[in-house]
Amino acid sequence: MPELPEVEVTRLGVNPHVEGKTVTELILRRDGLRWPFPANLRELILHQTILSTGRRGKYLLLHFHHGSLLIHLGMSGNLRIMPSTTPPQKHDHVDILLGEQMMRLTDPRRFGAVLWHDHADGALEEHLLLRHLGVEPLSDQFSPELLFKQTRQRNAAIKQVLLAGDVVVGVGNIYASESLFRAGINPKTAANRISLKRYQALAIAIREILAQAISRGGSSLKDFVGADGKTGYFQQSYFVYDRAGEPCRVCQGTIRHITQGQRSSFYCVNCQK
């Protein structure tokens, strides 16, 4: 599943090819993916210029003068830039033609989404799918104090609070596991039992690990394809994620695997308290 770094890498990859470009055609090969496509989407964006790109959580945003297109890659989606004449394959559902090049959305499992937010409907941040999102982990709003304050009433395990996305957004399973390891926090620890000092270590770990993943070109999706057609998958060396039974790279203890909220967690009992 593409996590925040993959979406940001995708945005960085497509941005030079789409920013300032005008939509010359929109081809939808289905009625929708996870949700129906907006019925009048072609009329909305045809002959309109993409002013800039953005991202909120795992939503990639294309900003037009009158609204924004929200694209979610779901479980298996990817966006690529290619010549507009490239014949579609089975899972190529959406083509946004920009003259001689196009941006193509491929999504085998079809959990992705393409939605429109019109400026007439208010601020984009208030969109139904965006308004409940926590702060961006790489923004100035994200801080140890925020983690501390927002968890005082939360007795759920810290790993699940991170995954819930309402405090901080985009820290998915891999990055939550790795960040908690780096901060020395057991994933089962109740969020409201963690001190400000320990949240300082966690906030730094989250920022560093996400920034590192973005700089390496994304990591978590095996069939992630880069915007230029090259693979964007980077085989990272994890400390705990997916390493059940293997020795901890720090203390040589055995990495444990537990299930929390139907998601796998990996941690070291020695290094994480």
Using CB under 5 A, which residues numbered 129 to 188 contact Zn ion?
none
Which residue has the closest beta carbon to Zn ion?
A: 248
Minimum separation from the CB atom of position 251 to Zn ion (A): 3
Query: Among 80-88, 139-147, 221-229, 243-251, which window interacts with Zn ion (CB under 5 A)?
Result: 243-251
Which is closer to Zn ion, CB of 143 or CB of 189? 189
Query: Among 10-18, 53-61, 110-118, 250-258, which window interacts with Zn ion (CB under 5 A)?
Result: 250-258
With binding defined as CB under 5 A, does residue 271 bind Zn ion? yes
With binding defined as CB under 5 A, does residue 250 bind Zn ion? yes
Query: Among 16-24, 26-34, 206-214, 245-253, which window interacts with Zn ion (CB under 5 A)?
Result: 245-253
Does the annotation mark 58 as catalytic? yes
With binding defined as CB under 5 A, does residue 246 bind Zn ion? no
Extract long-range pairs of 24-29: CB within 8 Å, 24+ residues apart: 24/84, 24/97, 24/98, 24/99, 25/84, 25/95, 25/97, 26/94, 26/95, 26/96, 26/97, 27/94, 27/95, 27/97, 28/93, 28/94, 29/88, 29/92, 29/93, 29/94
Query: Can you tell me whether residue 100 is helix, strand or coil?
Result: coil
Cα 166 to Cα 43, 64, 105, distances in angstroms: 34, 27, 28
Which is closer to Zn ion, CB of 147 or CB of 268? 268
Side-chain half-sphere exposure of 206, counting CA atoms within 13 A = 29
109 labeled part of a ligand binding site: yes
Phi and psi dihedrals of 232, rounded to 5? -100, 5
Minimum separation from the CB atom of position 182 to Zn ion (A): 11
Q: Based on C-alpha coordinates, what's the Rg of the chain?
A: 20
With binding defined as CB under 5 A, does residue 251 bind Zn ion? yes
Does the annotation mark 249 as catalytic? no
Residue among 42, 188, 207, 263 flagged as catalytic: 263
Which is closer to Zn ion, CB of 84 or CB of 264? 264
With binding defined as CB under 5 A, does residue 201 bind Zn ion? no
Does the annotation mark 11 as catalytic? no
With binding defined as CB under 5 A, does residue 248 bind Zn ion? yes
| Residue 11 per-residue DSSP state | H
Does the annotation mark 83 as catalytic? no
Residue among 55, 58, 159, 182 flagged as catalytic: 58
Residue among 3, 6, 8, 178 flagged as catalytic: 3
With binding defined as CB under 5 A, does residue 253 bind Zn ion? yes
- The residues near 137 (Cβ < 8 Å, ≥ 6 apart) are 4, 168, 169, 170, 171, 206, 207, 210
Cα 154 to Cα 41, 62, 148, 151, 157, distances in angstroms: 41, 35, 10, 5, 8
Which helix (H) or strand (E) is 4 found in, with range?
A: helix 4-18
Instruction: Return the structure tokens found at 261.
Output: 């909220």
Per the annotation, binding residues for DNA are: 91, 109, 154
The residues annotated as belonging to the active site are 2-3, 58, 263
Q: Which residues bind Zn ion (CB under 5 A)?
A: 248, 250-251, 253, 268, 270-271
